[in-house]
Structure 1
Amino acid sequence: MQRMPCRVHNGIFMSAFQVLVSFVVIVFLTPAIEYAVVMPRAGRQALPFRWTLDILCSMVAYGGWLAATGSIPIALLMTCALMAVTVVASNIKFRVLGEPLLFSDVVVARSFLQHPKFYLFSIPLAGRIALLVLAIAAPFLLWAYSCAAVLPHLIGVGVLLLGGLSIWLYPAQKLAPTPDITRDAGTLGLPGSIIMYWRQWRRSVDLPPPAALQGKPAYDMVVIVQCESFADPARLGLPPDIPLPAMPGLKRAYDIASQWGPLCVSGFGAYTMRSEYGVIFGQEETDLGFRRYDPFLTAGRERDHAIGNRLGAIGYKSTFIHPHDLRFYNRATLMPTMGFSHMVNPGPHASTPDMPYFGDVALGQTIAGMMQAATAPSLFYAVTMENHGPWPGGPDGQSPLHHYLRHVHNSDRMLLDLIEDMSARNSRALLVFFGDHRPSIPGIVMPSGIRDVPYVAISFPLDDRAARQNPAPLTPAQLNHLIIRMSVQP
């Protein structure tokens, strides 16, 4: 294929018409697309610096495409397309998860390539077709209509640098002093909030090291189970005609727990790593600043806070168990630095439509076998997968819900099995079981301000005096503090 020649009329690179169209697109069209379409709409303001940030971001995109292709029409087309795709993707995420796009979502691109089914289900059919067309058309357009002349590429570099430098001169600390994405998406716009949050994230300081624990292991084994999308169906606000599964495990756990109640998590339908980080590291999201949106990105610099290292210092041997790809959130690299000297990846699992992931009951059996084989005080941290979406759809619109309820019932059975197994052992043990976030089931379970999930902390041998307390709400960080307090004998 031969690229089309670049035509320069009368020795002038940019005609007056091209200059006018470029000005209209950068100054009016792309900012208007962002302002008119992006969600959330509450708190949206047409502030001068929001519009200016949109213009500067459009300049960066336009300059980048022009520097790459040398073609003004292609640069204009791709600039509009990039803004439209970014806004639509953000709106889809907002409807499903209750948050717009964040700077930290860039790392999702790698996960999307590794496991696309985690993400494609949330994109409407029309959107998938549009993405396919764009993926095919964009490389063709970039090749076929790019220009070999040097001048347009140099002008593109100049526009790119001018826009980028202007954005960098904006005072991120003044525009976004504290993380509040709902507020800042309305005042800074989507591209502006992404860039300012990224700049503030880069300025984040590391946490000071924690005080060393003093004492010895209070238990022979501590088992922490982070259960994917685990929630009490009775608290999900489901339609009244939906038969709810019995949850004997959760009921039994509430009856015998030393402490139980709602775990107040920030994510909905995703962001497992936020809950996981809180329970492992014991740091409140309010103290993390802009790291709160994906704390695993900087977790390697805070390893001294990890529960594996802290409990390991007083004699616990720590094991991390997860029946899925350990590359997610870079766990394969991070967990050993967090003090988990053993990594267990149960399986393999033959995926079926009814059971796409490793089952929770089987994972509970794996944990029971590891407890049986333990010869020293041990910490087992397990992350489940059975409840992970997407759940198969159907013509009635409620099939995903029915699949979820069946899987969450299996999670409850795992909890009951672990309770019975640990009750039968002649050993001191602590079982902590919690959900990482509520499920997102479009049209049925939607994002809202109510996001709590259950947690229980059960000490064996059972002590009737500690049972049947009133529920005690905790954050994931506070659950970490509870685990450490119970696991250390002064």
Structure 2
Amino acid sequence: MLFKEHPAVILLLSTFFAVLVIASSLDHMAQPNKYPTHRSTPLRERAMGLPFRVLPLLLMFGCALAVTGRAVGAGVLSIVATALLVLGSNLKRALLDEPLLFSDAVLVKACFQHPRFYVDALPLPARVAVLSGLSATVLTIVALFVFDLTHLTRIGGSTLVLRIIGLLLGVSSLLLLRELARTSLPRRLMPFPDYDATMPMHGFLATTSISWLLWLQDRHRPISSHSQAARREPPVGKVPIVVVIQCESFADPTTLMPTKAALPPLPKLEQLRHTARHHGRLHMSGFGAYTMRTEYGVLFGHEETELGFRRFDPYLSAQSHFQDALPNRLKSLFQNRIFVHPHDMRFYARDRLMPASGFTKLVGAAEFDGSAKCGPHVSDRSLGEHLVGLINDAVRKDQSTFIFAVTIENHGPWPEGLSAYLDHLAHGDALLGTIHGALEKCGHPALLAFYGDHRPTIPNAVTPGNGRHTPFLIFEFGTQTLAPRSKQDLTPAGLHHAIYEAILRTQ
């Protein structure tokens, strides 16, 4: 009787049922969507994941209903949004061997601020796919508005009721998800931050929701790695000039494509390995992107295994651990602690995070206005000249100085593929030689740490299957207390500890 008197209720329920069926089918297309043959998918575990499959769709449907005031329009928008998310996730996996993550949402603002920074990094087929998806979304929204130009101005009737229902659905589904975060269910379904192990059973939207809820649980948990075990007050005395350089996409070309023709080695990297106090391979989880993971590891010294679900974007929860950042640990030793990056400091919120991490000065894009570029970004040569100036200034004024520099030249895109990347890579190698030479000649105790943040992603050339490690080197100059030369692989967090101990040793 109720359905006969209120056909809108029938339409609303049937539309959401259609959304569940169609969107779930689309969701299943996100890769990976199958377990290895030796894995089983118990029905009970699938049933436990049902709330995480339904609630994200209910949230999207409710929000769309609150905006449009029409059940069919909300259903169409929900299906299109799901399709776009799955498309984006599969494109990202093809490029970076990683799906879309809940933490990627923070990059939306950066995409609007610097769209070419991301669009130019995509190969042509991916650009076409993204443009087609966005065009379909715009056309869908336009079609909904043209179909009924008056629906946004209606005050009474079923439209207002549907908007209220949509608002209630959206809010209640979000609150239910947040309540689930207080239970043990999310961690039972996803005990480790591994999308590939969870997506085949529960799907992309559910896995994304679960990982977000577990991030909410993890973000304020204390980390007791080095703050208690290795922290000690640095001694007072003659302090070195310290330069740490994170070089964009810097990798050893001889290891990039082991199954293909060997690439020639970098001259400075090959030469200086023999004089480095410590060198080896820097192992990381990311490939082709996520500079902030490596940067955070080196600055804060926290292993990804300790971070839990914070590992995907550790800067999102960095405010809980500022005391562990390298410049804060060394603030009693270094008068000047300078962060240098010739790009927009708003990326990863460096403009806020770096001062809180203990840096006394930030040198960003404005200081490099008029500097030479190589490709679309400030050249490594220009950055090297600026760093040499900071080194000479520290020597002249006899000021204790810690410099952490992040390069940008080799970010890409590489229109000519591998050959363009190798040209920029050679400039990173020259930067290593420039700063090494400047510190060697400065006549002051000094330390240099140089490493790559991640490997490049170059379709049909450099792929994740060939490895993810980059080289690192640590040099000590003008000190009587030298550590024996060693070759040992490290994680970014391990490099943090190696740099810290090397600084203390140079006293």
TM-score, scaled to structure 1: 0.89
Shift of 1:445: 1.2
Give deviations 1:56-111, integer Å, cap 9, x for gaps: 32222112211221111111111110110011111111111111111111101011
Shift of 1:118: 2.5
Alpha carbons of 1:427 and 1:17: their partners in 2 closer, same or farther (altered >3 Å)?
A: closer
Shift of 1:21: 4.3
Q: How many residues align?
A: 471
Give deviations 1:322-354, integer Å, cap 9, x for gaps: 1000111111111111111011124115787x5
Q: Does 1:134 align with 2:137?
A: yes
Shift of 1:160: 3.1
Report the 3-state secondary structure (helix = DSSP H, G, I; strand = E; otherwise coil) of the residue aligned with 1:100. Answer: coil
Give deviations 1:193-246, integer Å, cap 9, x for gaps: 22111111112214355544231366420110000000011100167457x355
Q: Does 1:38 align with 2:30?
A: yes
Alpha carbons of 1:465 and 1:203: their partners in 2 closer, same or farther (altered >3 Å)?
A: closer
Q: 2: CA distance between counterparts of 1:313 and 1:221?
A: 14
Aligned equivalent of 2:19, options 25, 28, 38: 25
Alpha carbons of 1:316 and 1:283: their partners in 2 closer, same or farther (altered >3 Å)?
A: farther
Shift of 1:175: 2.0
Amino acid corresponding to residue 14 of structure 1 in structure 2: A
Q: 1: CA distance between counterparts of 2:144 and 2:258?
A: 48
Amino acid corresponding to residue 86 of structure 2 in structure 1: V
Aligned ranges 1:150-299 → 2 under 5 Å: 150-161=160-171, 163-168=173-178, 170=180, 171-204=185-218, 205-207=221-223, 210=228, 211-216=231-236, 219-237=239-257, 240=260, 244-299=263-318
Q: Does 1:358 align with 2:378?
A: yes
Report the 3-state secondary structure (helix = DSSP H, G, I; strand = E; otherwise coil) of the residue aligned with 1:184. Answer: helix
Q: 2: CA distance between counterparts of 1:110 and 1:295?
A: 18
Q: 2:26·2:82 contact (CA, 8 Å) conserved in 1?
A: yes
Q: 2: CA distance between counterparts of 1:34 and 1:295?
A: 27
Q: 1: CA distance between counterparts of 2:304 and 2:9?
A: 53
Q: Which residue of 2 aligns with 1:376?
A: 399
Give deviations 1:364-385, integer Å, cap 9, x for gaps: 1211111000121211100000
Amino acid corresponding to residue 236 of structure 1 in structure 2: L
Q: 2:223·2:306 contact (CA, 8 Å) conserved in 1?
A: no
Q: 1:279·1:479 contact (CA, 8 Å) conserved in 2?
A: yes
Q: 2: CA distance between counterparts of 1:162 and 1:193?
A: 20
Superposition CA RMSD, Å: 2.7
Amino acid corresponding to residue 297 of structure 2 in structure 1: G
Give deviations 1:122-176, integer Å, cap 9, x for gaps: 2331321331342354256257544633222233234435544554454223222
Alpha carbons of 1:162 and 1:466: their partners in 2 closer, same or farther (altered >3 Å)?
A: closer
Q: 2: CA distance between counterparts of 1:18 and 1:278?
A: 49
Q: 1:319·1:379 contact (CA, 8 Å) conserved in 2?
A: yes
Alpha carbons of 1:134 and 1:217: their partners in 2 closer, same or farther (altered >3 Å)?
A: farther
Q: Does 1:70 align with 2:69?
A: yes
Q: 2: CA distance between counterparts of 1:475 and 1:142?
A: 53
Amino acid corresponding to residue 252 of structure 1 in structure 2: Q
Q: Which residue of 2 aligns with 1:4?
A: none
Q: 1: CA distance between counterparts of 2:137 and 2:254?
A: 43
Alpha carbons of 1:238 and 1:358: their partners in 2 closer, same or farther (altered >3 Å)?
A: farther
Q: 1: CA distance between counterparts of 2:234 and 2:440?
A: 28
Q: 2: CA distance between counterparts of 1:218 and 1:438?
A: 37
Shift of 1:271: 0.6
Shift of 1:272: 0.5
Aligned ranges 1:102-141 → 2 under 5 Å: 102-121=101-120, 122=122, 123-135=126-138, 137-138=140-141, 141=144
Q: 1:291·1:298 contact (CA, 8 Å) conserved in 2?
A: yes
Q: 1:269·1:438 contact (CA, 8 Å) conserved in 2?
A: yes
Alpha carbons of 1:234 and 1:357: their partners in 2 closer, same or farther (altered >3 Å)?
A: same
Aligned equivalent of 1:386, options 400, 409, 415: 409
Report the 3-state secondary structure (helix = DSSP H, G, I; strand = E; otherwise coil) of the residue aligned with 1:269. Answer: coil
Q: 1:219·1:430 contact (CA, 8 Å) conserved in 2?
A: no
Amino acid corresponding to residue 369 of structure 2 in structure 1: P
Amino acid corresponding to residue 347 of structure 1 in structure 2: F
Shift of 1:430: 0.6
The runs of 5 or more residues in structure 2 that have no matched partner are: none
Moved more, 225-234 or 55-64: 55-64
Report the 3-state secondary structure (helix = DSSP H, G, I; strand = E; otherwise coil) of the residue aligned with 1:108. Answer: helix
Q: 1:269·1:437 contact (CA, 8 Å) conserved in 2?
A: yes
Q: Which residue of 2 aligns with 1:396?
A: none
Moved more, 141-150 or 336-345: 141-150
Aligned-pair identity in percent equals: 32
Alpha carbons of 1:19 and 1:119: their partners in 2 closer, same or farther (altered >3 Å)?
A: same
Moved more, 94-103 or 15-24: 15-24
Aligned equivalent of 2:336, options 317, 325, 341: 317
Q: 1:13·1:151 contact (CA, 8 Å) conserved in 2?
A: no
Q: 2: CA distance between counterparts of 1:31 and 1:407?
A: 44
Alpha carbons of 1:309 and 1:162: their partners in 2 closer, same or farther (altered >3 Å)?
A: closer
Alpha carbons of 1:315 and 1:379: their partners in 2 closer, same or farther (altered >3 Å)?
A: closer
Q: 2: CA distance between counterparts of 1:412 and 1:217?
A: 33
Q: 2: CA distance between counterparts of 1:341 and 1:162?
A: 45
Moved more, 149-158 or 16-25: 16-25
Report the 3-state secondary structure (helix = DSSP H, G, I; strand = E; otherwise coil) of the residue aligned with 2:443. Answer: coil
Amino acid corresponding to residue 324 of structure 2 in structure 1: H
Shift of 1:270: 0.6
Alpha carbons of 1:465 and 1:279: their partners in 2 closer, same or farther (altered >3 Å)?
A: closer
Q: 1: CA distance between counterparts of 2:145 and 2:310?
A: 36
Q: 1:63·1:156 contact (CA, 8 Å) conserved in 2?
A: yes
Amino acid corresponding to residue 189 of structure 1 in structure 2: G
Alpha carbons of 1:372 and 1:18: their partners in 2 closer, same or farther (altered >3 Å)?
A: closer
